[in-house]
A and B are shown apart, each in its own frame.
Chain A
Amino acid sequence: MTLTTAVPTSATDPFGDDVLADPLPFHHELREAGQVVHLERYDVYAMGRYAEVHAALVDWQRFQSGAGVGLSNFRREKPWRPPSLLLETDPPGHDAPRHVLEPILAPRSLRRLRESWQQTADDLVDSLLDRGTIDAVADLAEAYPLRVFPDAVGLGPDGREHLLPYGDHAFNAFGPPNHLVEKGQAGLPEVSGWVGEQCARDRLTPDGFGARIWEAADRGDITHDQAPLIVRSLLTAGVDTTVHALAAVIDGFLSAPDQWELLRRDPGRARVAFDEAIRWASPVQTFFRTATVDVPLGDAVIPAGEKILMFLGSANRDPRRWTDPDRFDLSRDPSGHVGFGMGLHQCVGQHVARLEAECVLRALASRVRAIEPAGESRRHLNNTLRAWASLPVRLVPA
């Protein structure tokens, strides 16, 4: 059976500064062009519609991660660091690390953290209220995860300032070697060295996620060689993502002040609000897959071995799936968005992010009557993350 390849093409650079600063027009083009589009600039394929992105994400048999979930093809190029045992590994290698990490980060394991995380959020918001005008990125979205997450993993007190630059670089490195990647190179040896050292058993407190990963190695569920790499996954994937997601939810409320009123009246909607922000802003915008066989899609064929860029952010605003997708709306059911991915590699840390966000939103909802813009907001560009550098806001006390 021969199928003619009739793939629409696009000359746009999805990692260009203009697209990174505002990807929505490009996402629209991509979705309208077809089920799959060829990106000339990098000779890769792209999917922007919800149904296709969802179907490909769950189809790990035909869309693998082991050749890297960035532009670089690990079959041909050497990765910049040893590949992740989770994100960049296919079954069977993926099984044991995932099996070990899932229960450590499951909602029922996080219950013990809720009380102290809520207290930390309450204290932080109280102190911000004293100041009135704040930068919601530095003072809230960064400050809160950095207070709770490194402790929960079990990191020591020193060097935590390396976490954000490390994550920022790792997420840039999924894209092409552009100026954003270059920017991170200079400091990389130091930052990367620090992160590597923190994954060692003797650096971790005995009660954190990290220690539980090492205990799994003692039980023989993973090897002792795997343990530090799995700890590293938490440090790479767990900080910047949550920071930008928290900034996104604040931005959502700035875009729709009536939705803040809704949350104030019904703080039980905090979880929905956060996932709606993930859908609406998609802090993780893209990940690649590699076709393991020729995959026909409509009239086109994605040839085996080729990379496909999955636009999670575009899928999450596909009008074929979502009504009025550009609206940040607490009354919609955001369930099923692909902002945490879907299928085998779906974010194993999603419950951690949700708990952090719920604590912050509850603290804000009970103390803050209104969140108002208080200056020019600024985007932070990253090849994978949709992020804010600065969101000046005024917190009006209740």
Chain B
Amino acid sequence: MLSGMSITSDASPRQVAPAAPSSGGKVGLRVTRVETLAEGVRGLTLSAADDGRLPDWTPGSHVDLTFDNGLTRQYSLCGDRWDPHTYRVAVLREPAGRGGSAYVHDELAEGDRVELAGPRNNFALAPADHYLFIAGGIGITPLLPMMEQAAMLDIPWTLLYGGRHRASMAFLDQLARWGDRVLVRPQDEYGLLDLSVIGDQPAGTKVYCCGPEPLLDAVRVAAAGLPAGHLRTERFVAGAIPPPVRSTSFEVELARSGVTVTVEPGSSVLDAVAGAGVPILASCRQGICGTCETGVIDGTPDHRDSLLDDEDRRRGDCFYPCVSRAACDLLVLDA
């Protein structure tokens, strides 16, 4: 069902794949480029394994990537959403990390397969008259696309970017084009970030900050006078561990229909359940539209959608069988 569309401006016109992935509900990614962005920071460029469009995202979004060694880690997307075929993330090597960053730095290579869940956005860019972006180290990543978009909307902004020392700070070359909007403040040259800038901003400024917890704490104190909703933060979490991802089959029991089916690794819950004669209405098949929302009566879902926030996930009472799976042996559904 390829439409045969291609892009003229491209040297090599590429096909646009149909949006509905047929990969058993999992979007497989391929690492197309690994590069060193700064001391201890690796950049990954990822494409869909079938070269199709990747799920849409907005600045502030993160994805869950599951590597061959079974580890799953969350990374902010820092590329260009006007290119629907690639994602970019930047990964900091963390000496105290629990293996995710070490794996990316030491073992992951171009051509490797990675599994995707999301994207999700807990750090969305809200309208403002002016933005102040504050980045600590690798916390620069979600802010990069925000700056691009603010510029597109002609909204003035300033970036205050701190790090241990210049060589450890990623994207400095890319940021150079913004001139004096960008304040690069490595700690070995300037000391701790001077957060008094927060107080100097014009009214109507929203402050977006991403970095390690101590920076966020300091920013919260410095921004205490801002109106509600004007400070937005995201913690850069080293080695946050989402629930385990199974690579083996699991059972799904449909409480109302009284049917139990086995979901094999290559199949989505949606397809497995339809195969058992209980079709669940769906639409986007990417965990975006919400049409196939199904109640979860028992068991722990492995959420891979773009819809539920952490609070919803903790409640654990519904999931999206087009992409989400089970983190347990048996999932009991209200279907």
A-contact 0/1 string along B113-157, CB 8 Å cutoff: 000000001001111100000000000000000000100110000
In the complex formed, the residue of A with least CB distance to B292 is A335
Given contacts A51-B2, A55-B5, A99-B124, contact A296 B18 (CB under 8 A): no
- Judging by beta carbons under 8 Å apart, are A99 and B58 in contact? yes
Least CB distance, A237 to chain B, in whole angstroms? 16
The verdict on A190 contacting chain B, using a C-beta distance below 8 Å, is no
- Judging by beta carbons under 8 Å apart, are A346 and B153 in contact? no
- Judging by beta carbons under 8 Å apart, are A344 and B19 in contact? no
User: Which B positions have Cβ atoms within 8 angstroms of A?
Assistant: 1-9, 13, 16, 18-20, 53, 56, 58-59, 81-84, 121, 124-128, 149, 152-153, 206, 227-230, 256, 274, 279, 281-285, 289-291, 293, 307, 312, 318
Least CB distance, A336 to chain B, in whole angstroms? 6
The winner among B59, B289, B293 for most chain A CB atoms within 10 A is B289
- Judging by beta carbons under 8 Å apart, are A59 and B16 in contact? yes
In the complex formed, the residue of B with least CB distance to A3 is B8
Least CB distance, A312 to chain B, in whole angstroms? 13
Q: Chain B residues near A51 (CB, 8 Å)? A: 1-3, 18
Given contacts A54-B19, A91-B81, contact A221 B5 (CB under 8 A): no
Given contacts A95-B58, A346-B283, A350-B289, contact A221 B19 (CB under 8 A): no
Least CB distance, A104 to chain B, in whole angstroms? 12
Q: Chain A residues near B16 (CB, 8 Å)? A: 55, 59
Least CB distance, A230 to chain B, in whole angstroms? 12
Q: Chain B residues near A354 (CB, 8 Å)? A: 291
Give bound CA distance, A346 to B84, whole Å. 17
Q: Chain B residues near A296 (CB, 8 Å)? A: 5-8, 13
Give bound CA distance, A272 to B279, whole Å. 9
- Judging by beta carbons under 8 Å apart, are B3 and A333 in contact? no
Q: Could you list 17 A-B pairs, sorted by A, with CB under 8 Å?
A: A55-B3, A59-B16, A59-B53, A91-B149, A92-B152, A107-B290, A218-B228, A220-B206, A220-B229, A221-B124, A221-B229, A295-B8, A321-B1, A335-B282, A342-B283, A342-B284, A343-B56
Least CB distance, B208 to chain A, in whole angstroms? 12
- Set A95, A107, A297: member contacting B5, Cβ < 8 A: A297
In the complex formed, the residue of A with least CB distance to B281 is A271
Inter-chain pairs besides A51-B18, A95-B124, A96-B126, 9 sampled, C-beta below 8 Å: A62-B7, A219-B229, A220-B227, A220-B229, A221-B126, A297-B4, A336-B283, A340-B283, A351-B290
B-contact 0/1 string along A340-372, CB 8 Å cutoff: 101110100011001000000000000000000
Q: Chain B residues near A295 (CB, 8 Å)? A: 5, 7-8
Give bound CA distance, A60 to B82, whole Å. 9
Give bound CA distance, A222 to B153, whole Å. 15
Chain A: number of interface residues, binned into ranges: 35 or more
In the complex formed, the residue of B with least CB distance to A92 is B149
Q: Chain B residues near A218 (CB, 8 Å)? A: 228-229
User: Which A positions have Cβ atoms within 8 angstroms of B?
Assistant: 1, 3, 35, 50-52, 54-56, 58-62, 91-93, 95-96, 99, 102, 106-108, 218-223, 226, 268, 271-272, 275, 293-298, 301, 320-321, 333-337, 340, 342-344, 346, 350-351, 354
Q: Chain A residues near B124 (CB, 8 Å)? A: 95-96, 99, 221
- Judging by beta carbons under 8 Å apart, are A335 and B281 in contact? yes
- Judging by beta carbons under 8 Å apart, are A298 and B4 in contact? yes
- Judging by beta carbons under 8 Å apart, are A220 and B228 in contact? yes
Given contacts A51-B1, A96-B125, A336-B283, contact A106 B290 (CB under 8 A): yes
Least CB distance, B20 to chain A, in whole angstroms? 6
Given contacts A91-B81, A293-B8, contact A226 B127 (CB under 8 A): yes
Given contacts A54-B19, A220-B206, A222-B127, contact A107 B293 (CB under 8 A): yes
Q: Chain A residues near B6 (CB, 8 Å)? A: 296
Least CB distance, A52 to chain B, in whole angstroms? 5
Q: Chain B residues near A108 (CB, 8 Å)? A: 293, 312, 318
In the complex formed, the residue of B with least CB distance to A301 is B8
Q: Chain A residues near B126 (CB, 8 Å)? A: 96, 220-222
Please give me the 3 A-B residue pairs with the lowest Cβ-Cβ distance, nearest first: A220-B229, A55-B3, A58-B19
- Judging by beta carbons under 8 Å apart, are A275 and B18 in contact? no
Q: Chain B residues near A342 (CB, 8 Å)? A: 19, 283-284
Q: Chain A residues near B274 (CB, 8 Å)? A: 333
- Judging by beta carbons under 8 Å apart, are B8 and A294 in contact? yes
Give bound CA distance, A343 to B284, whole Å. 7
In the complex formed, the residue of A with least CB distance to B1 is A51
Give bound CA distance, A95 to B126, whole Å. 8
- Set A336, A340, A346: member contacting B20, Cβ < 8 A: A336
Least CB distance, B119 to chain A, in whole angstroms? 13
Least CB distance, B191 to chain A, in whole angstroms? 32
Least CB distance, A19 to chain B, in whole angstroms? 25
Least CB distance, A359 to chain B, in whole angstroms? 16
Least CB distance, B145 to chain A, in whole angstroms? 9
Give bound CA distance, A51 to B4, whole Å. 9
Least CB distance, A102 to chain B, in whole angstroms? 8
Least CB distance, A252 to chain B, in whole angstroms? 16
Q: Chain A residues near B1 (CB, 8 Å)? A: 50-51, 320-321
Give bound CA distance, A26 to B157, whole Å. 51
Given contacts A220-B230, A296-B8, contact A92 B284 (CB under 8 A): no
